[in-house]
Amino acid sequence: MAVDASSSSSSAKRPAYHLATELVHIDSDAVKDNYNAASVPIYQTATFKQHDADGSDAQYDYSRSGNPTRTAVEVHMAKIMSAERAFVVSTGMTALDVILRLVKTGQEIIAGDDLYGGTNRLLTYVSQFNGVKVHNVDTTDPAKVEEKLDPIKTRLVLLESPTNPMIKIADIRTIADKVHDVCPSALVVVDNTMMSPYLQNTLEMGVDIEYHSGTKYLSGHHDLMAGVIGCRTKEVGDLLYFVINASGSGLGPLDSWLLLRGVKTLGIRMEKQQSNAIQIADFLEAQGLKVHYPGLKSNPQYELHKSLSSGPGAVLSFETGDVGLSERIVESARLWGISVSFGCVNSLISMPCKMSHASIPAEIRKQRQLPEDLIRLCVGIEHVDDLINDLTNALEIAGISVKQPASN
């Protein structure tokens, strides 16, 4: 049997250069390449020939256990996430599924009450079939999390910040400190997809596991399905690798290469998308709409988010007060594609209760105060004037009289 080929430990906890630089430069020692290729090669192979009868000296034997292309992206992700170890798997939901395998029957999970619909679906499954108790609480209030902590039963605390789709902020540092104080054996896990490692590093806040849907900002083009997991300690990394190897959920070589290519442009894409989002949020707020976005100074959690992240990101949502009005806005947009997901270079618009969060029963959505009229915008890299003009046209077609900015 070959040795563990998944080792992706970051050689230094803090990158030597600015993150925007580190994103572009791949560690040349991550994969042995006899030809010094400028781009990491795609090792499109299922198996690797061995030199010995027992294969004990080989780094790779079977791509389910490890592949050089996958190793390259895992080492790179560990570096930019400041992780002790990182892993790439088939999808973002696979990443969460791998993490949830660390929770045993009889143990408990504390999660938010404003979650991605797919996350809610998977948590419902483990609750119904695995004998795991799931508590959904308002994670914007650390006291609500603390109320559910049990030193014996609590195994995992799952956070999103910002949340999807209400864009609420959790005090990650405070919650992580409290969880580790009360429940030393519990793991604090953060879905950091909406911020990406470029804007927010939760492992440095005391979080045990950070995961991403690599389909979103890390890839950036919606031509790839992937999940990324980063962990703070070797012990947790060993547990995660065992699950990934046993279940065969590791990312294939071609998709690993695509993910690695996408990550290189994360910085420049995120800067442009965020810049556009800030201006669009200002525009919508000027129309008297209720906008959920941590980049607005009117947001009550503006300062908290600023203390956690280097920017507000490029996803926002807003309420119109009427489901029919929201439907007309979404359907009248032209540049904004009606689609689930976020993080790609082109802008997307959707009504979460009808798409990404439709799997959450209506009564649960009402209980969790998820507005049926909510519109989510996932801002791309287009010229911001074109995006605002398209929104202006959609609002006016829907019946909203748009206020034009005052001229200087």
DSSP labels, 302-370: HHHHHHH-SS--SEEEEE-S-HHHHHHHHHH-SSSEE-S---SSS-EEE-GGGTTTTTS-HHHHHHTT-
* Closest to 319 measured CA to CA, from 376, 276, 404: 376
Residue 216 a catalytic site member: yes
DSSP notation for 137-192: E-TTSHHHHHHH--TTTEEEEEEESS-TTT-----HHHHHHHHHHH-TT-EEEEE-
Instruction: Compute CA distances 248 → 49, 74, 196, 305, whole Å.
Output: 20, 16, 25, 37
User: Can you tell me the distance from the alpha carbon of 72 to that of 141, in angstroms, rounded to the nearest whole number?
Assistant: 39
Residue 43 a catalytic site member: no
C-beta of residue 172 within 8 angstroms of C-beta of residue 190: yes
Residue 34 binned pLDDT confidence (cut-offs 50, 70, 90): confident
User: Can you tell me the distance from the alpha carbon of 47 to that of 236, in angstroms, rounded to the nearest whole number?
Assistant: 27
pTM greater than the 0.85 cutoff:
yes
Residue 181 a catalytic site member: no
Q: Region 240-264: what's the mean pLDDT?
A: 98
User: Can you tell me the distance from the alpha carbon of 169 to that of 174, in angstroms, rounded to the nearest whole number?
Assistant: 12
The three-class DSSP label of residue 376 is strand
User: Can you tell me the distance from the alpha carbon of 129 to that of 178, in angstroms, rounded to the nearest whole number?
Assistant: 29
Residue 116 a catalytic site member: yes
Q: Region 181-192: what's the mean pLDDT?
A: 98
The structure tokens listed for 360 are: 């959450």
Q: Is 288 exposed, middle or buried (0-12, 13-18, 19+ CB in 10 A)?
A: exposed
- Asked if residue 162 has a cis previous peptide bond (ω within 30° of 0), the answer is yes
Between β-strands 375-378 and 315-319, what pairing exists: parallel, antiparallel or unpaired?
antiparallel
Q: Residue 367: is its pLDDT beyond 80?
A: yes
Residue 53 binned pLDDT confidence (cut-offs 50, 70, 90): confident
Catalytic residue among 191, 208, 255, 373: 191
- Which pLDDT does position 30 carry in this prediction? 79
Catalytic residue among 60, 116, 211, 293: 116
- Which pLDDT does position 238 carry in this prediction? 98
Residue 8 binned pLDDT confidence (cut-offs 50, 70, 90): low
The structure tokens listed for 236 are: 């947790």
- Which pLDDT does position 11 carry in this prediction? 46
User: Can you tell me the distance from the alpha carbon of 5 to that of 66, in angstroms, rounded to the nearest whole number?
Assistant: 5
- Which pLDDT does position 369 carry in this prediction? 87
At 37, the amino acid letter reads A
Residue 57 binned pLDDT confidence (cut-offs 50, 70, 90): confident
- Which CB contacts under 8 angstroms, 24+ apart, belong to 211-215? 211/92, 211/95, 211/96, 211/99, 212/92, 212/95, 213/91, 213/92, 213/93, 213/95, 213/343, 214/88, 214/92, 214/259, 214/262, 215/91, 215/92, 215/341, 215/343
Residue 2 binned pLDDT confidence (cut-offs 50, 70, 90): very low
* Closest to 137 measured CA to CA, from 180, 103, 175: 175
The least confident of 30-34, 193-197, 229-233 is 30-34
- Which pLDDT does position 319 carry in this prediction? 98
Between β-strands 108-112 and 154-160, what pairing exists: parallel, antiparallel or unpaired?
parallel
Catalytic residue among 70, 79, 168, 216: 216
User: Can you tell me the distance from the alpha carbon of 302 to that of 312, in angstroms, rounded to the nearest whole number?
Assistant: 9
The structure tokens listed for 244 are: 């990934």
Which has more confidence, 356 or 8?
356
User: Can you tell me the distance from the alpha carbon of 221 to that of 153, in angstroms, rounded to the nearest whole number?
Assistant: 41
